[in-house]
Structure 1
Amino acid sequence: MKQQMSRLQFVFLALWLIVGTGILTLPFTIGQITIRDGWISAILLLPGGAVVITVIALFRRVFPNQSLVEALHEALGPFVGRAASLWFIYMIFVTECFVLREGSVFLSTTVLPSTPNYIVAGAFILPVAYVTYQGAEVLGRMAEIITPIGVGVILVLFMLALPYLNPSYLQPVLADGWSPVVRADVVPWAYMWETMFFLQFRGVPGQWMTKGLLITTLLISAIGVIAEFTVIAVLGPGIRYSAYPLLEVVRTIRIADFIERLDTLYVMGVVTTIFLKLSVIHFAFTTAIQNWFAPCQYRRMVWSSAILLWAGSFFLIHNSNAIMDIIMKVVWGYFTSTGLAGPLLAVIVQRWRQHRAIRR
């Protein structure tokens, strides 16, 4: 079934697909490599995003009306194509398990310390499955409603944090050279490969997708600069010792004696954005399974796959320390190799077959 959404809705979904968990993990991971110059890493996201967008644009030019799984089957044949698409499906599965675990650990750490984590994860995945069952149009409408509120909250919190900024934490600029800055940019670049999941959204035209992702990359870079600048200027070297630096920044804000818990609003916002991100990934996962076992309806697998993901989030990621280890050591290589190899392999083989057919 062809899913429809507007260009604006697509941009909003793509924004939260990256920022959804990025606002939790990226300040910490960047802070482990560089502190003063972390905001420069957000600017360097632009070249990495351009590489990802180029790959997606090439794929959509060759396969304008097909998902990535369908394209792999057509280009590589029933055996090699199914093996390659299964690897992509596994990447989606691992990513969703990872995001679900991040969200449940964050909730358990901040507001539900006495609730078993498996109950928190279950309460998280059920509404995700329900929204996924409703289709991509509902996802787009939700993003359209939530985004103005989320962006407004980010700007307000930034303004409220201004009195707590210490510019000395930002100096001297590039004292350690470019090497730490470039290495810190590896993790944000890896997150950009998650936009490959939109190749399962057949209702989004290729031109819309390319332009939308370009706008999204610019927005993410701008948000990253603001977030990193604020975190560095408020916490300084303390970034390395806080699992959630942005949450610590929000906790430092005191407006008056009767308004002291702005972190509650931050937690609510993070949970909402993670919910959107999980819904996008779950839609990509179920439609990928639908394409692999075609013909069938993706809605038949929404609830059963949700149970599988709930179990997988505990089987694959044992604790919060494992989350950060995977982000720092595994994510970039795994996402980059899969994000490059899958679409480019399908494009190259399909182009070769078309050229060969023309010569005949």
Structure 2
Amino acid sequence: FKSAEGSTTFYSVDACRTIPALLKAYELTSNAAYLNSAKLAGATFLYNMQHKPSPLGVHDRYYGGFARAVTLSDEWQGQMDVECLYALIALKTLCESDPSNKDKYEPMMLDAIGFYREGLEGFYVYYDPPPSGDNQWHRTGLDDSTVFDDSLAYALIGVYDNGGWSPTVQKAYAFLNAISASTQYPAYNPAVCWAGYINVAARAPACDYYDNVTSGILSQIRRDHDKSAYEFSVKIISEHAGEFMFWGAKHADYSFVENKQAMATVCWIAQLLLSYEAPVTRFTQILNSKGENLTLHPIKEAGERTAYGEPVDVKAIVLPAKTEELLLEPGYVTGDYLSLHVFAPLRRRDKVRRNGEDYEILSVQEFTFKGETAFRKVACRRLITQ
């Protein structure tokens, strides 16, 4: 559970992520070494990271969270990271593979969710306990306003795997996924995946790139409860597969942030693509049967100069705009407006092209069914000047 081969520091979150992989390797090979390693990671290492800090004085009392890390020389990092909710997946799989220790794993899971729930619901990254800490939940940044997207994504999928589409998961996912493009980062679309840093206080992305790994981490939640984002994410990644093998891709053109491919990113995206099945809803059936093929040009630069990104094919039911719904602007007539019904997560100020004509999106209204976006009604106006 080291962060690097030469490191002497061992992290709780790395054990959380390792256990499911070890158990899958055991399932495929029947090699008991994988099972024993997983048991060591859960029943010994994670158990100690949860229970040892209080008697050792690293924590002032027992919390139920896992201390961040420990070194070979017994130096502790006592902060408790909310992404360790991924342990719920690890411990749940251990309950099935190591039933003799089930009575040990289940209380660990209950204590962990009991402690970390407050942090996840408050969109925090870690808790810093006494005696060395300030007894507060924290984010990152100078003003404590920013979160790492992958930390909350790992936490979300851990809770989702354990308790399903609970109020905690619904609230956290809806809040973070609703943080969309800003004046500073107009190209950002959370349906692709989440920005590497998110300012939850300002409700805005805090960097100009996607953290590509979250497209895979969030895929199960999106497949079940946000199908339009699920479909759109796969479409963008499939068209830019090479770029998404790097850990970060720019919002504007998907170019890499750093010339460094990431194994974890590739593994998570591989899981997304291998398990992908196109969503089928009543609306998508109608759309596939009756819809027109349009070309989306996502906005990537706003202000004095408007610029658009690479084209994306989308389907839409196209209707003339209703006169009673229009507020005609000077220089425009009724025929310059269109009403679209789409599944794709289009955004205000994006551009769509139909039969060689360009239209700017003026507004997007979501219609939901059973808590999930069923379709979007999009108002468009012809772009007279380019």
TM-score class, shorter: under 0.3
Normalising by structure 2, report the TM-score: 0.21
**Which has the larger share of strand?**
2
**Which has the larger share of helix?**
1
Normalising by structure 1, report the TM-score: 0.22
